[in-house]
Structure 1
Amino acid sequence: MKCKLLVAEDEMIERKVLCKTLQKYLGDLILLYEARSGREALEIFARESPQVAVLDIEMPGYTGLEVAKKIRESGKPCGILFLTGYDKFSYAKQAISVRALDYLLKPYNEQELVSAVEDAIRQTTAQPLPRPAPVQTAPPLLREEDEDARTTLIRAEMYAFVEAHYQQDISMQDAAAALRYSDAYFCKLFKQCFKVNFSAYLNQYRVDKACQLMQDPRLSLREVATACGYADANYFTRVFKRLTGQTPSEYRNTLMH
């Protein structure tokens, strides 16, 4: 069954680009609903009960945050992702109570968008698994002006988390909690450090690892997928083809010739 996906964005061009990109990569997985305002988003939600909603934070009438709060008050399950710009990031910090799955920071590229939505679809349909334990060591205190040292330290912490946990079923929220950041602030810091959002970076990291493992002919493709954090082989194949242009089978065949 296809996942019902709601996109709420008041800027027509932004909304059309969003929807066109999602249809291009996820068209076989989703039924897409477009909303031009927060009020229309709530009407669609009440009528269609979408499992995932991508909400622009700045909309006339009801903001994305207000829409998300009303979605939570309805009691219906829905994975929520926010669209926001750096200049509005203080606003996004208020969204903790609505348990957003991710924050897409403008400007974002196609891979960031698709990775975040794809992961939201997976999270809303998958059985929850144990989360990784929080990191115990606290980073040394740095002065605000020590920006280069601070950024280097934060990047190293984030990379270490991905390296240690990429084989597990982790999310942006897991990483933020383990490193003791709010979800919204973590998203901002992560994109500053790596130039892409967490979902896109994690998928690229896992696919790179998969390419390395596939050089060993003794490992089946399912074993490779599991070793790289993909419990669902179909999800692994979809992500791998989107990032490399080949299915895992096609990629392995090229290695053998």
Structure 2
Amino acid sequence: MYRILVADDEPIERQVLSKRIQKNFPGQIEIFTAQNGREAMETFEHENCQIAILDISMPGINGLEAAKYIREKYPDSIIIFLTAYDEFNYAKQAIGVKALEYLLKPGRDDELQETLEEAFSLIDCNRTPTVEEAPENSSQIAAADEDLDHARVNAIASEIASFLETHYQDDLSLQSVAGRMGYSEVYFCRLFKNCFDKTFIMYLNDLRMTKAVELLKDISINIKEISERVGYRDANYFTRIFKKKMGMTPSEFRNKKEMP
């Protein structure tokens, strides 16, 4: 059972978001709510939460301040921002507290679900298996926790990078890639962190943005087509990810590059 904190100063926002998450993950989660940053910090601690979904604009202690406190006290916690602020400066601060994702309200169901699935995978990666759990992957998990020699890390990283370089246009998730490469989900998650020091989604988005930047140099290709070519079926979602990474929209980036 994953324990999630939802913090927002608007009661309706908290209620709607909580219901959306419950609907997508029935029987998998417990949700706790807070109406401001201070209450968020106290509730996260008191209820032993693992994931914090935070609004930024809250009275008193805001979401960014609460996130900094949670990150310092609970280094393995998962922080997700869901906010109305579409500003690069806030996104940069979110990166500073190692937030898993920075989503704009109201947040589409598919992107919220994808982000939470990634969060659950990271929690599972950090979880110590118990005696009662099925032991079939225990030797693999233990091996992933050992210090890997430099040559092995490079070999595994090369294998993963090559796969993603070939398949980044596909509809990918950590779970699907782990399966297609022949790894258990938990083992692959730990390998990925060992190899790249970032989450799967962060790595995949960075790779796709690199490809998008190259395609934007060709003015004969429209933004929607570029979005599809780099693996995003929704051009609006692609634009949001691009702006978060680059500080400007794809169109603004293209126009800037065209200026003498």
Tell whether the 8 Å contact from 1:102 to 1:172 is kept in structure 2 after alignment: no
Tell me the amino acid that sits aligned with residue 174 of structure 1: Y
Structure 1: unaligned runs, 5 residues or longer = 136-157, 182-188, 199-257
CA distance in 2, matches of 1:60, 1:100: 21
Q: Which residue of 1 aligns with 2:170?
A: 163
Query: Mapping of 1:1-257 within 5 angstroms?
Result: 2-85=1-84, 87-126=86-125, 132-133=160-161, 161-163=168-170, 167-168=177-178, 171-178=200-207, 194-196=235-237
Of the two structures, which has the highest relative contact order with CA contacts closer than 8 Å and spacing of 6 or more?
Answer: 1
Question: SS at 1:49's partner residue?
Answer: coil
Tell whether the 8 Å contact from 2:54 to 2:80 is kept in structure 1 after alignment: yes
TM-score by length of 2: 0.54
Structure 2: unaligned runs, 5 residues or longer = 127-140, 145-155, 179-188, 190-198, 211-226, 240-260
Tell me the amino acid that sits aligned with residue 72 of structure 1: R
CA distance in 2, matches of 1:178, 1:191: 12
Tell whether the 8 Å contact from 1:51 to 1:78 is kept in structure 2 after alignment: yes
CA distance in 1, matches of 2:14, 2:88: 20
Tell me the amino acid that sits aligned with residue 194 of structure 1: A
Question: SS at 2:59's partner residue?
Answer: coil
Given the superposition, is the C-alpha separation of residues 197 and 4 from structure 1 closer, same or farther in structure 2, using an over 3 Å criterion?
farther
Say how many residue pairs are matched.
169
CA distance in 2, matches of 1:14, 1:20: 10
CA distance in 1, matches of 2:238, 2:43: 28
CA distance in 2, matches of 1:33, 1:19: 9
Deviation at 1:110, TM superposition (A): 2.3
Given the superposition, is the C-alpha separation of residues 192 and 161 from structure 1 closer, same or farther in structure 2, using an over 3 Å criterion?
closer
CA distance in 2, matches of 1:53, 1:192: 28
Question: SS at 1:32's partner residue?
Answer: strand
Q: Give the alignment's Cα RMSD to 1 decimal.
A: 3.6
